[in-house]
Structure 1
Amino acid sequence: MSYAVAALYRFTSLPDAAALQAPLRALCEAHDVKGTILLAQEGVNGTVAAPPASLDAFLAELRGGPLFAGRLDGLELKLSTAAKAPFGRLKVKVKREIVTLGDPAADPSVRTGAYVAPADWNALIARDDVVVVDVRNAFEVEMGSFEGAIDPRTRRFSDFKAFAAERLGEARGRTVAMFCTGGIRCEKASAHLLAQGFSDVRQLKGGVLKYLEEVPPAESRWRGTCFVFDDRIALGHGLAEAPPRETAP
C-alpha cells in the first residue's frame, strides 16, 4: 500500500487551541491519519500520512469542516508519497508556538517576507546583491543545500535569533533570500528580520520541497538531498525518496 504525506501549516488565530486537541485527534483517528500535529494560539503545523483517499478526506475536513470553522481555509500544503507508512503513531500536541523561535515580535500573520516562486528562485539567488540563508539546522544542511547559501550552523530553530544578530548585521541593507524545508521556519525567520529593521527579506514559497517538486533537475541549483522529519529521512528531485547519506558537496 502506498501512502500520501502532507506537510501542512497555517498561521491563524486559534485561542481555543487546547480545546481543539481532543476533537482533532478524533478526526485523525477516524481517517487513519498518523504523524504529528502541533496546535498553538498562533495556528497549526504538522506532517501526517494516510492512504490517499483517507488523507484527502481529512484535509477537506481541516479546511472546510466545522472543527476549525474556516480558519484553515488557507492551509499551506506540500504533498508527497511514501512506499510504506512513514509514521508509526499519531501525536497531537498543544504548544506555545507551532515553530519555536521565541520572538513575540515575529508574527507572520501580521508581516512576513515576500514570497518567491520556485520558478523565480534561481534568478534571485544568482544575483550578487542577494544574501542567501539556509534557515534549517546544521544536520539538515549537511545533507543538502543551495549553492552558495550561508549555513547558520544552528542546532535548533530558536538559535536563528543569535545567528541573525551576530552574522547578518552587514546584510541589513541588502536583499536577504531565505529557505527552509516547507516554508514555516522562513515565515517566522523573515518576520524576525523585518522586526529587526531589515528592509528586503524574501522567502522561497513552499520551501525546498516545492522547489524539488517543480524545478527540473537539469535546471536545479540544489545539491544533495532534503531531510524530512519522518521515516523516509530524505527526498530528492521530484520528491522521490533518496539515500540519506548523500550530502552536499
Structure 2
Amino acid sequence: MTYLIATFYKFVTITGLKTKKAEILALCRKLGVKGTIILAQEGINGTISGSQKAIADVLAYLRSLENLADLEHKESTFQKLPFSRLKVKIKSEIVTLGLPEVNPNQQVGTYVDPQDWNKIISDPEVVVIDTRNDYEVEIGSFQRAKNPNTESFREFPEYIEGNLDPTQHPKVAMFCTGGIRCEKASSYMLSQGFKEVYHLKGGILKYLENVSPEESMWEGECFVFDERVAVKEGLEPGSHQLCYGCGHPISEEDKQSPHYESDISCPHCYHQLTPEKKARLEDRRRQREYLKKAGKLGKGF
C-alpha cells in the first residue's frame, strides 16, 4: 500500500488550543493517521501520513477551523507508514527560536517561489543562509549557502549577531526544509534592521518537487524527520540512513569507515562510545533484529 505524507504549517493566531488538540487527536486516531502536529497561539505545524482519503479528511477538518481556510500543504508518498505513532502537542512556539517577541504574524520577509529561487541566490550581493541544523546541512544544501553550524534553531540569532551586519549585508536569502524556520528567521532578521530579506516559499521540499534536476542548484540530499531519512529530486527517497547510536544521518561512504558498526556507531559518534553504551546498543540491536524479522520495522527505525 502507498501512503500519503502531508507537511504543512501556518503562522496565524489560534485560540482554544486544548479543544482543538482533543478534536484533532480523536480524528487522526479514528482515521489511522500517524505523525506529529504542533499547535501554538502563533500557528500550526505538522507532518502526517496515512491513506489518501484519511489525509484529505484531516486537512479538510483543519481548513474548517478559524483562520486556517487557506492552509497549504505539500505531498509525497511512501510504501510504508513513515511514522510509528501519533502526537498532537501544544507548545509556546510551532518552531522554537526562543524569542517570543519575534512574530511572523506581524512582519515577514519576501516569499520567493521555487521557480524564482535560482535567480535570487545567484545574485552576488545576496547572502544565502541555510537555517537548518548542522547535521541537516552536512548531507545537502544550495550552492553558495552559508552553514551557520548550529545545533538547534535557538542558536540562529547568535550566529547572525556574530557574523552579519545589516549595514554591510542588506540582502539576505534563507531557506529550510519546509519553509517554517526560514519564515520565522526572516521576521527576526527584519527586526534586526536587515532591509531585503527573502525566504524560499515551501522550503527545499517544494523546490525539489518543482525544479528539474537540470536546472537545480541543490547539491546532495535533504534530511527529513521521518522513516525516509532523506529525499532527493522529485521527493524520491534518498540514500541516507540513521545511525542508531547517535541519530546522525549516515551515507554509504560513512558505512565504509572502520568506525561504523550497524546499529552501534558511526564516524560521528565512535569516539564517544563507552563500553556501557555499546552494551545497551547491542541489546537494542538484538531487539531490533527480532522486530525486523517480524516485519514491524522499516528503513528508518
Partner of 1:3: 3
User: Is 1:135 equivalent to 2:101 in the alignment?
Assistant: no
**How many angstroms does 1:137 deviate by?**
0.3
**Is contact 2:14-2:43 (8 Å) kept?**
yes
1:239 to 213, 232, 235: 235
State whether residues 166 and 194 of structure 2, in contact with CA within 8 Å, keep that contact through their aligned partners in structure 1: no
CA apart distance, 1:246: 5.0
Q: What secondary structure is seen at the aligned counterpart in 1 of 2:205?
A: helix
Identity %: 49
Taking only aligned residues, the RMSD between alpha carbons, in angstroms, comes to: 1.4
Q: Distance in 2 between matches of 1:74 and 1:173?
A: 34
**1:148 aligned partner:** 144
> Per-residue CA shift, 1:122-156, capped at 9, x if unaligned?
11111110100000000000010001100000101
Matched residue type, 1:241: P
2:285 aligns with none
Q: How far does residue 104 in structure 1 lie from its aligned partner after superposition?
A: 2.3
Matched residue, 2:20: 20
Q: Give 1:229's aligned residue.
A: 225
- Closer/same/farther in 2, CA of residues 201 and 172 from structure 1, 3 Å limit: farther
Superposed displacement of residue 168, structure 1:
1.5
Instruction: Kindly provide the CA deviation profile for residues 33-59 of structure 1, in whole angstroms up to 9, marking residues without a partner as x.
Output: 100111111111111001111111211
- The 5-angstrom pairing of residues 1-249 of structure 1 reads 1-64=1-64, 68=65, 70-169=66-165, 173-244=169-240, 245-246=250-251
Work out the CA distance in 1 between the residues paired with 2:76 and 2:4: 6
> 1:14, CA displacement in angstroms?
1.4
User: Gapped runs of 5+ residues in structure 1?
Assistant: none
Write the distance in 2 (CA, Å) between the matches of 1:170 and 1:91. 40
CA shift for structure 1 position 110: 1.2
Bigger radius of gyration, 1 or 2?
Answer: 2
Structure 1 stretches of at least 4 aligned residues deviating more than 2 Å after TM superposition: 170-174
Does structure 1 conserve the Cα–Cα contact (< 8 Å) formed by 2:176 and 2:182?
yes
Per the alignment, in what secondary structure is the counterpart of residue 119 of structure 1? Answer: helix
8 Å CA contact retained: 1:105, 1:195: no
Q: Provide TM-score, normalisation by structure 1.
A: 0.94
Distance 1:80 1:184 in 2: 18
2: distance between equivalents of 1:82 and 1:171? 46
Instruction: Using structure 2 for the length normalisation, give the TM-score.
Output: 0.78
Letter of the 1:169 partner, please give it.
Answer: D
Could you tell me how far 1:105 is from its partner in structure 2? 2.7
Q: Which amino acid aligns with 1:40?
A: A
1:95 and 1:189 map into 2 onto residues whose CA distance is 18
In the alignment, the residues of structure 1 paired with residue 115 and residue 40 of structure 2 have an alpha-carbon distance, to the nearest angstrom, of: 32
Partner Cα separation in structure 2 for residue 181 and residue 95 of structure 1 = 20
**Structure 2 alignment gaps of length 5 or more:** 241-249, 253-301
Q: Deviation per CA, 1:46-101, whole angstroms, max 9, x where unpaired?
A: 1100111111121111112xxx2x32112131111111110011001111111000
Higher relative contact order (CA 8 A, sep 6+): 1
Aligned residues: 243
Structure 2 CA distance, aligned partners of 1:181 and 1:96?
Answer: 21
Q: Distance in 2 between the 1:167 and 1:173 partners?
A: 10
TM-superposition CA deviations, 1:152-184 (whole Å, max 9, x none): 001011110101111112665421000000000
Q: Which string of whole-angstrom CA distances, capped at 9 and with x for unpartnered residues, describes residues 183-227 of structure 1?
A: 000111000000111111000110000000000001101000000
Partner Cα separation in structure 2 for residue 172 and residue 20 of structure 1: 45
* Secondary structure in 1 matching 2:197: strand
